[in-house]
């Protein structure tokens, strides 16, 4: 199993949209078994998959409490560990709690054959603390969504430093998978073009070739508890996302070729 933390310390970059649709497309289009984890007390990813009552079951807080995880079955290939506001209590606990997520995911994946996953996708909150630190410790790779805005570069430098500190002090195997440019305006502007060019110049080996355009359909689909591939399967938003996920899988295969976490 490969664990991916989708994170950026800046808010409003579309982490949850990426987490939601990446998980759905991996499961539905590419036939991967996916455990998707809402690691944000706001619970937006959870409400994209299930109603609030269901989200109280299969809660990621159980993992932090060192209890057996009980994921919600969204589909045969896609399971969810949801979140609600009670998850915020983790921030007040002693530092060792950050290791519970990694340990709990490993136990859940190895509990039985029916809980054997290809990917665990962790949606992170837009701040740094115990929850995001736990996600980075649990992850094999970090996927970073960014907007092509003037603030992207400064925020990226902060996140790179944070990731390197975690790698050095807590998780030597942690690597950055890549940076996906998200929420690109359909009508191109000079500013957006300049920002994309600056990101590609500063991080040439990390930027995904495929970008994600800002579209109403992507905002609508969670209201119907459907990823874009099921909500509008033959429209440009779905086709664009599928191309990105194909590139994502290619990057994972390339980076994991020397590791034992991908088959």
Q: Give the chain's domain count.
A: 1
Name the more confident of 216 and 260: 216
To the nearest whole percent, how much of the chain has pLDDT over 70? 94
Domain annotation covers residue 92: yes
Query: What is the domain-level CATH number for residue 57?
Result: 3.40.50.300
Domain annotation covers residue 261: no
How far from each other are the two terminal CA atoms of the chain, in whole angstroms? 8
Per-residue pLDDT tens for 95-122?
899 999 999 999 988 765 565 899 999 9
pTM above 0.85, yes or no: yes
What are the backbone dihedrals phi and psi of residue 227, each rounded to the nearest 5 degrees, phi first?
-70, 165
Q: What pLDDT does 54 receive?
A: 57
- Give 149's DSSP letter: S
Domain annotation covers residue 94: yes
The rounded mean pLDDT for the chain is 89
Q: In which band, very low, low, confident or very high, does the pLDDT at 43 lie, cut at 50, 70 and 90?
A: very high
- Count other C-beta atoms under 10 Å from residue 114's C-beta: 9
Does the pLDDT value for residue 262 go beyond 70?
Answer: no
Contact indicator for 82, 119 with CB cutoff of 8 Å: no
Q: What pLDDT does 144 receive?
A: 95
Per-residue pLDDT tens for 139-153?
999 999 998 887 777
- Domain span at residue 57 reads 2-256
Domain annotation covers residue 227: yes
Domain annotation covers residue 137: yes
Contact indicator for 181, 208 with CB cutoff of 8 Å: yes
Domain annotation covers residue 212: yes
Does the pLDDT value for residue 40 go beyond 90?
Answer: yes
Domain annotation covers residue 262: no
């Amino acid at each position: 199993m490969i664990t991916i933390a989708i994170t950026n310390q800046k808010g409003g970059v579309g982490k949850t949209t990426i987490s939601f649709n990446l998980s759905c497309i991996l499961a539905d289009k590419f036939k991967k078994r996916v455990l998707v984890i809402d690691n944000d007390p706001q619970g937006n990813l959870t409400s994209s998959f299930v109603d609030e009552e269901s989200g109280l079951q299969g809660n990621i807080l159980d993992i932090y409490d060192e209890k057996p995880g009980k994921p919600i079955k969204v589909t045969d290939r896609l399971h969810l560990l949801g979140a609600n506001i009670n998850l915020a209590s983790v921030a007040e606990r002693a530092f060792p709690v950050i290791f519970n997520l990694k340990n709990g995911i490993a136990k859940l994946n190895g509990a039985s054959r029916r809980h054997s996953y290809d990917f665990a996708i962790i949606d992170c909150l837009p701040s740094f603390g115990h929850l995001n630190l736990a996600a980075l410790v649990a992850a094999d790779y970090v996927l970073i969504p960014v907007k092509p805005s003037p603030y992207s570069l400064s925020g990226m430098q902060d996140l790179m430093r944070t990731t390197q500190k975690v790698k050095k002090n807590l998780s030597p195997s942690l690597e950055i998978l890549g940076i996906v440019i998200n929420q690109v305006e359909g009508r191109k502007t000079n500013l957006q073009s300049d920002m994309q060019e600056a990101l590609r110049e500063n991080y040439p080996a990390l930027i995904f070739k495929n970008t994600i355009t800002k579209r109403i359909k992507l905002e609508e689909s969670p209201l119907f508890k459907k990823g874009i591939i099921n909500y509008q399967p033959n429209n440009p938003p779905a086709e664009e996302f599928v191309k990105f996920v194909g590139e994502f899988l290619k990057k994972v295969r390339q980076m994991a070729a020397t590791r034992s976490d991908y088959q």
